[in-house]
Structure 1
Amino acid sequence: MKKILVVDDAAFMRLTIKTMLDKNGFEVVGEAENGRKAIEMYKMLKPDIVTMDITMPDMGGVEALTEIIKFDPKATVLMLSAMGQEGIVKDAVIKGAKGFIIKPFKEEYLLKALSKF
């Protein structure tokens, strides 16, 4: 069972993702509401995969991704982005993200993206 850290500033989105993952055999080991907390939790929990929102207060997803990759170059981070953030997504992939999906997304898109890891 893959251990997942869910990172999104919206509590509703974290709950939605967690529910999708729980019912499909993934273990959500933690949740974070910003990039700074995501880095801290990644170091503590060492999840197999991180779902990372791009736009968050305090520290955004791309900056957090960069720090997580510095800590663990083999980290698997899946970026979640809203429409219109394609340039930011490309930057995230260059910086080490293993993939991305566009919000809003259907459960099957999330599962398909995660099945690659």
Structure 2
Amino acid sequence: MLGAAGLFTDGNTVAAAAVLTACVACAVVNSPLVFPSPLGAEEARRRSAADGRPVIYRRPGRPYRRRLRFRLGRDARRAHWLDIWRDPAAAAAVRAVADENETVPTVVLPDGRARVSPDAVRVRELL
């Protein structure tokens, strides 16, 4: 943000607008208001069974996860997101379906079927 302000005061409004747009996009993609904070593994499984929405296991800072959330747009809120670094039970669930690897994103449907690293089109179909 300060970089954009500096560019603006130097008279470079196009570059300032580009930097500001990038900062806002980054804030939106990582915002807990847009994408709610994850649940615990047991609570997510319980809710998934009740509402039929899939559980998506993730790790923070992974570019594929950001890309997936961005491509899903508002549909991303129709899934339960779990951080495997915050919840050991979530990490264990991913290892159980991903050949003992912590490959994310991993999508688990309410019926127990799992998809490891699916593309965004497939995840949207599952939602």
Q: Do both proteins adopt the same fold according to a TM-score greater than 0.5, normalized to the shorter chain?
A: no
Question: Which has more strand, going by share of residues?
Answer: 1
Question: Which has more helix, going by share of residues?
Answer: 2
Normalising by structure 2, what TM-score?
0.32
Which has the higher Rg, Structure 1 or Structure 2? 2
Normalising by structure 1, what TM-score?
0.33
